[in-house]
Amino acid sequence: MPIGRDEAALPQTIAEAREAAEECRACPLWEPATQTVFGKGPDDAPVIFVGEQPGDQEDIAGEPFIGPAGKVFDQALAAAGIDRRQAYVTNAVKHFKFEPRGKRRIHAKPTMGEVKICRWWLNQERRLVRPKLIVALGATAAAAVLGKTVTIKATRSTLIDVDADTRLLVTVHPSYILRLPDAAAKARETEAFEADMALVLRTV
């Protein structure tokens, strides 16, 4: 019997979870997407970074955070001295949700219902990787980890206990920095994001 979203047959490894998630049909997002984009990184990583959902490039490549937001993320990690290869990187929602516009596919925000459905996979990743720290990149990721809506303003840069062994750090999504039109605001927010990444390094 294939391992799926069945409490009686929980995946035993990240590789099993990844394989099972390829067949996930629990919400309609799988259909227009190219593929499931599952988390990537060591299955004993001390930290899990959680984004919102794969973007256009991630959907095609099948890997999280390799497009423009991934570049901002990589730069902040490098500035803080974090080796991404030692982290597990995933998303709250594992399929790209988009609106077709001509030849382009425009990112569409997942609903809380979709986040809740996909949370099953995030919970498997948390159970199997057992990280010391989870970093929520943006409000959707924070909601997926906590199971309730929170604001970035109220939660950012503080360490929140989520269970006996795991803490959560909420920060902004790298796309937020990308979208800032003003160079000064961009520089200020980049610095704040890098400071959060430095806190990650001090925590794990």
For ligand URA, the binding residues (CB under 6 A) are: 51-55, 58, 64-65, 67, 69-70, 91, 175
Q: Which helix (H) or strand (E) holds 170?
A: strand 167-171
> In the complex with ligand URA, which residue's Cβ is closer, 9 or 178?
178
Backbone angles phi and psi of 98, in degrees to 5: -150, 160
Q: At what angle do helices 139-146 and 112-129 cross, to 10 degrees?
A: 70
Measured from the CB of residue 95, what is the shortest distance to ligand URA in angstroms? 11
Is 137 strand, coil or helix?
A: strand
Evaluate whether 121 touches 24 at the Cβ level (below 8 Å).
Answer: yes
CB 9, min distance to ligand URA, A: 28
What is the closest distance, in whole angstroms, from the C-beta atom of residue 102 to ligand URA in the complex? 21
With CA atoms as reference, report the closest residue to 3 among 22, 31, 30, 29.
22
Tell me the C-alpha distance between 129 and 49, whole Å. Answer: 12
- Looking at residue 93, the DSSP 8-state letter turns out to be S
Q: Which is nearer to ligand URA, 69 or 170 (CB)?
A: 69
Nearer to ligand URA, 51 or 131 (CB): 51
Paired with 171 in beta bridges are 137
Q: Which residue is nearest to ligand URA (CB)?
A: 51
Which lies closer to ligand URA via its Cβ, residue 54 or residue 131?
Answer: 54
Q: Which is nearer to ligand URA, 57 or 123 (CB)?
A: 57
How many other CB atoms are there within 10 angstroms of residue 167's CB atom?
17
Closest approach, Cβ 187 to ligand URA, in A, equals 21
Cβ at position 113, least distance to ligand URA in Å: 18
